[in-house]
Structure formats: structure tokens, C-alpha cells
Amino acid sequence: MASRNPGVEFDPSWFETVHVNLPGIKRRAEQLGTRRTVKKQWQAAWLLRITTCIDLTTLSGDDTPSNVQRICFKASRPIRQDLLEAIKMHDKGITTGAVCVYPNRVADCVRFLKAAGASHIPIASVATGFPSGQVPLKTRLEEIRQAVDDGASEIDIVINRHYALTGKWKELYEEVCAMREACGEAHLKTILATGELGSLTNVYKASMVCMMAGADFIKTSTGKEGVNAIFPVALVMVRAIREYFHRTGFKVGFKPAGGIRTAKDSLTWMSMMKEELGDEWTKPNLFRIGASGLMGDIERQIFHFVTGRYAAAHELPMA
């Protein structure tokens, strides 16, 4: 971001009387889900833009250096070179927005991105007892510092859902402030775990509190909850971003994560960002999609655009 969100003093008057218009949000979400998508060369262009906004992710208990190496090389060359050449985009330096891994795998990312000639790709690391956050604050802060020391330039933290569910917004603000400080120059992405917050009103309040505490991004989910990135939640979050921008002049990014697997879905998410926040929020400094399998379907659609047929499994190696 050109100018990071520095945060503001805690002021509950910004959110304490907010009530979400649930029928209105549901109607808007339904509109997004049923609209016709872009086609042909415009679709290809949008899919390339989305590629640059993907946090290519592996967050499995059985992660090893080998599968981290695979996603690092995929992040550096997400679309087959001959396909990019066919649409005259081979010299544009298209990569994914970041790679996202557990803290223990950050050093592997540094090594493998360097080997791929792609050290400029950001490394995002989940931290703070991901996905539950149920560890002492001291431990969570140390995990952030260690990931940054190992080379992470973005930290995806999970908020303390207990504070949100019990209305302890000042306590949540103070914790996120401490996490922002622990990040140093690394950007802070706050995961709200919206599927566990109980109401859309809590989603709005948690969004605003995290931005007040200096979050660079707010993120829907860990990807491990029962309900992850869905449009009603996203609309509440992006409208909180819009309100925060109007109040402060600082732009905060948005990251949906969990369950976004198809190119068609990603196009709908991109159109929502463009319509709700404007074109600036369709670029990787202010929009990311947390996904592991999405990149494969995007490349498949680009292949179809170039060749007129869908690729066989062996023609598009998976990340």
C-alpha cells in the first residue's frame, strides 16, 4: 500500500449503535450470485488480474518442504508461458499476490522463491495460534516476531473470538494493536473467523475495531470454520472498509478465504469489489483471495480461451 493504515484511537461510537439490515444484505448477496459474468477476452483479462490477487496457500498439518517448493514455483509462474504468449501477456511479470504458509515453513519459502527468481513475491504467514487463537497473548506475539524474522512480509493473525462474542471491544482493540506492533514493517491481515462471530453486527464491529487498531487488511476466515467466505459477510466487511475510509482517508484491504475454488466464483468476488469499493480495490495491494485450488481452474479457463478446448489433466500441472 502506498500509505499504510496507522490506526486511530479507540472510539466505540463508530460502531456501538450499528445494526445490519439483514434483508437488504441478503438481497444484494443474491444479486451478486445470479448475475451474468464477463466473457471472452474480458474474462481472460479479469482472470489474469485475479491471479495477481491470489494468496496461494498451503495450510495442512502434513506440509513439507516439497509441497511448499511446489507452490512457490507455481506462484512465480502461475500460468503456462505459451498461454501467456498467445495473449501477449508473457512479459508482464504475472505472479500470484503472495504465498501463504504456516510459520515453520516461512524459511522454506524464502529459499524456494529465491531459487525461482521470485524473491519479490510476498510471503504471508498465519500466526497467533492459527486457526483457533487459543494460546496466551505472549506466545501469539512471539509467533508473529519469529515469522517476520524468518522472512514473512505479511502476517495473517486470528482475532480473539471470545472478546467479540462478549462485547469486549476495547480488549480486542488492544490485542490487535499489540499484534500490529509485533509485525513491524510486515503488513497485518486480521482474520475475523466470521463463521464463529454469531451475527453480522458483530462482523461489522470486529471489522471496525481491527481497522482502528491498524490492520492493513481484514480477512473473512481461516478456511477451517464451518462457514467461510460468503457474500453477506463480505458485504458487511467491505462496507465497514468504505466507512473507515470516509472517516479517516486510509484504505484497508479485504481478503476472502475459504471455499473459493472456481474461476467463476472469483469473478463474482472481483465484481463485488469493483462495485462496492471501486477499481483500486481490485488490485493486490487492497484485495487478496486466500485459496489453494483456485489457481488450477483459472489456468484451465485461460487454456480454454486460447485453444477453444478444456485441458486434459496432464496438460496443466497442479500447484
- In this predicted structure, what is the pLDDT of residue 297? 95
Q: Which of 189, 205, 219, 251 is catalytic?
A: 219
- Determine phi and psi for 158, rounding to 5 degrees: -105, 135
Q: What is the rounded CA–CA span in Å between residue 164 and residue 10?
A: 15
Per-residue model confidence (pLDDT) at position 1: 41
In a domain, 1, yes or no: no
255 is catalytic: yes
Beta strands in the chain (DSSP E): 54-57, 98-101, 123-127, 154-158, 187-191, 217-219, 253-255, 289-291
Looking at the 3D structure of the chain, how many domains does it have?
Answer: 1
Instruction: State the DSSP H helix or E strand holding residue 108, giving kind and residue range, or none if neither.
Output: helix 106-115
> Average pLDDT over the chain, rounded to whole?
95
pLDDT mean over 124-137: 96
Residue 223 identity: G
- pLDDT at position 197: 95
Write the pLDDT tens digit of every residue in 82-99: 999 999 999 999 999 999
Q: Is residue 316 part of a domain?
A: no
Joined grid coordinates for residue 57: 496457500
Strands 54-57 and 289-291: parallel
Number of H helices and number of E strands within the chain?
12, 8
Active-site residue flag, 168:
no
Mean pLDDT confidence for 121-138: 96
The closest alpha carbon to 259, from 284, 289, 299, belongs to 289
Q: Tell me which DSSP letter residue 62 carries.
A: T
Helix (H) / strand (E) element for 55: namely strand 54-57
Are the CB atoms for 72 and 106 separated by under 8 Å? no
Q: What is the SS3 assignment for 5?
A: coil
**Nearby residues of 134 by Cβ (< 8 Å), 6 or more positions away:** none
pLDDT the model gives residue 109: 98
Catalytic residue (one of 170, 255, 264, 283): 255
With respect to residue 276, please indicate whether it lies within any of the assigned structural domains: yes
**What is the tens place of the pLDDT at every residue in 238-295?**
999 999 999 999 999 999 999 999 999 999 999 999 999 999 999 999 999 999 889 9
> pLDDT tens digits for 139-185?
999 999 999 999 999 999 999 999 999 999 999 999 999 999 999 99
Residues 210-232: tens digit of each pLDDT: 999 999 999 999 988 888 899 99
71, pLDDT greater than 80: yes
Evaluate whether residue 183 is within a structural domain: yes
pLDDT in tens, 30-49: 998 776 678 889 999 999 99
> Residue 139 belongs to a domain with what CATH number?
3.20.20.70
Q: Is 315 a member of any domain? A: no
Q: Has residue 317 got a pLDDT over 80?
A: no
Whether residue 319 is contained in a domain is answered as: no
**Predicted local confidence at residue 36, as pLDDT:** 63
Grid coordinates in use for 9?
484511537
Please provide the DSSP assignment of 210-240 as one string: HHHTT-SEEE---S-SSS-S-HHHHHHHHHH
Q: How far apart are CA 14 and CA 64, in angstroms?
A: 44
- Separation CA 155–CA 171 (nearest Å): 20
Digit-coded pLDDT (tens) for 303-315: 999 999 999 888 8
Q: How confident is the model at residue 318 (pLDDT cuts 50, 70, 90)?
A: low
pTM of the model: 0.96
Cβ–Cβ under 8 Å, residues 136 and 182: no
Name the residue range of residue 49's domain.
Answer: 12-310
Specify the pLDDT at position 151. Answer: 98
Alpha helices in 161-215 (DSSP H): 161-165, 169-183, 200-212
Can you tell me the distance from the alpha carbon of 87 to that of 80, in angstroms, rounded to the nearest whole number?
11
pLDDT at residue number 38: 83
Q: How far is 154 from 215, CA to CA, in rounded Å?
A: 11
Phi, psi torsion values for 302, nearest 5 degrees: -65, -40
- Establish if 125 belongs to a structural domain: yes
**Would 5 be classed as within a structural domain?**
no
| C-alpha to C-alpha distance for 308 and 299, rounded to whole angstroms | 13
